[in-house]
Homo-oligomer: A and B are copies of this chain.
Amino acid sequence: MFKKSVVEVLDTTLRDGSQTANIGFTLKDKIRIAQELDQLGIDYIEGGWPGSNPKDKEFFMKMKDISLSRAKIAAFGSTRRKGIRPEDDVSLNSILEADVDVAVLFGKSWDLHVRDVIKSSLEENLEIVYDSIHYLKEHGLKVIFDAEHFYQGYKDNREYAMNVLRNAEKGGADVIVLADTNGGTTPIEVFEVTKNVRENISSRLGVHMHNDIGCAVANSLLALSAGATHVQGTVNGLGERTGNADLIQILPTIYYKMKMMVLNGEESMKKLKQVSKLVYELAGINPNPYQPYVGENAFTHKAGVHVDAVIKVPRAYEHLDPTLVGNNRKFVISELSGTSNLLTYLKNIGIEIDKKDPKLKKALELIKEKENMGYSFDIAPSSAVLIAMKALGIYYPFIKLDYWKVIGENSGMSIAVVKVNSNLEVSEGVGPVHALDKAIRSALVKVFPEIASIRLTDYRVILPGEVKNTESLVRVTIEFSDGTNMWKTEGVSTNVIEASVIALIDGLDYYLQVNKKIKGALSSLEV
């Protein structure tokens, strides 16, 4: 089934990825990501640039005590500076000091950069490339040479760019990587140039793509089609500007579509969603719901016409079984969706309703009404399920919020007073939502001890409307977990505290409804 070629993968999430605008990994984060990448089956983990960043040095030190099952840790650095011997170059020596087995060395291959950026002669740069690689090889390292701006260099001065690669080969580079550093090369150019290089270079050939024209993933794949067998990228496409090539998108296409062996095959592919999610979490950025393969919407069907068809013949509508990348097929509840979507959704949590039940129409109308008020149940289907359960007459009123009041000021704790199921409770908290959450749970936990295990795993607020100011409607979305299952609820109000209370109560209520009424069904719950 598989072609002979095996594709090598270098992950640079910890180096190029850490230059993403608005993120920063702690040392602890970096170690955790490295371990996860090793478990995924990545061949090389580029851990950082020891010559430019002291935090990276610490990473290499710490990693010496951690045993990895497959991955090799690589240190990144530049070729030597002009007019200096390799043994006197701080950058090259910092790679040696990192005490790793693999070096990723970047050098100039575009004559413009040689002349105008490092202000060296074209001839000297060839020497720089040769003897920088040679120096590291003499010290026993495997050397991956990244030819910076290669595609631009090839277009401007093809002979020179090829000479740089030849010098890298002579210097002993184990892999020669063509980098589209500014990300502006078109797919057809990548294919044709890479093919030509493949015919003229005998080392293993790799690619390093940036996404500035939205083609990093495809350009990486095209380079493989043209004969490369080493690919570099980051988890979720993190990276400067528009990011690097996203390994999470590239890997399943290599394995499932192009039938080339990569990592540990299917075993690795099934972990992709989990790895993607962890890196988003540690980077502190929101997962992209539209991300190919692993996004929340990647296998989600909205328009009524498709839902029936997808159920009938999945292969006719889905390019891949979503579980092969650790994802799931989803049908969402929304204004546009028909009865069948709602039925499918209820069935997934164990509630069987006759599709001819006239109350279903009423439920959809109520959902639509709420959506017109600013709710978006695509994001938080659990709140929609509660509305449907009420309309269908299968809802038990476990929680009755009689009253809440909150007082906060610039110094000191917030104080919340709530009356829930006729119990009056007062709590202090570090903020108003914390105080309210504590008070509501205090009032409920005596009757429903199981809610003690529920944790809030995410909280966010946006203005859903077009006109925005401090008296706008806000939409609060809260994600809950009981350790096994996750669910999301929403509240909409002009008052951020009220919206939070609505979403909090819905979250506890949903858990009680599903848990109490259809014991055991929660384990099959997917939101």
Give the interface of A toward B (CB within 8 A). 19-22, 24, 52, 110, 112-113, 116-117, 149, 182-184, 186-188, 191, 211-215, 217-219, 221-222, 225, 237, 240-243, 246, 249-250, 252-253, 257-258, 281-282, 284, 286, 288-293, 295-303, 305-306, 309, 312-313, 315-320, 332, 334-336, 371, 376, 378-379, 401, 403-410, 414, 429-434, 436-438, 455-466, 468-472, 474, 493-498, 500-501, 504
Q: Are A182 and B318 interface neighbours, CB within 8 A? A: yes
Please give me the residue from chain B that is nearest to A429 by CB atom: B471
Q: Are B301 and A241 interface neighbours, CB within 8 A? A: yes
Other A-B pairs, 4, CB within 8 Å; known A184-B257, A187-B191, A284-B466: A117-B316, A405-B407, A408-B498, A414-B497
Which of B149, B243, B336 lies in contact with A19, CB distance below 8 A?
B336
Q: Are A298 and B242 interface neighbours, CB within 8 A? A: yes
**Distance in angstroms between the alpha carbons of A465 and B303 in the assembled complex:** 36
Q: Are A437 and B406 interface neighbours, CB within 8 A? A: no
Q: Are A410 and B414 interface neighbours, CB within 8 A? A: no
Please give me the residue from chain B that is nearest to A246 by CB atom: B214
Q: Are B21 and A297 interface neighbours, CB within 8 A? A: yes
**Distance in angstroms between the alpha carbons of A452 and B357 in the assembled complex:** 55
Which of B222, B405, B438 lies in contact with A188, CB distance below 8 A?
B222
Q: List 14 A-B contacts (CB under 8 A).
A: A20-B302, A21-B334, A149-B316, A186-B221, A186-B225, A187-B191, A213-B257, A214-B253, A215-B217, A240-B300, A405-B409, A405-B410, A431-B498, A434-B494
Contacts of A292 in B (CB 8 A): 183, 211-214, 242
Please give me the residue from chain B that is nearest to A455 by CB atom: B469
**Distance in angstroms between the alpha carbons of A468 and B479 in the assembled complex:** 10
Q: Are A459 and B431 interface neighbours, CB within 8 A? A: no
Q: A242-B290, A405-B409, A464-B284 are in contact. Are A474 and B459 (CB under 8 A)?
A: yes
Q: A408-B406, A410-B498, A460-B462 are in contact. Are A470 and B434 (CB under 8 A)?
A: yes
Q: How far is the CB of A466 from chain B (nearest CB, A)?
A: 7
Contacts of A295 in B (CB 8 A): 242
Q: Are B302 and A249 interface neighbours, CB within 8 A? A: no
Q: Are A187 and B218 interface neighbours, CB within 8 A? A: yes
Which of B191, B301, B316 lies in contact with A113, CB distance below 8 A?
B316
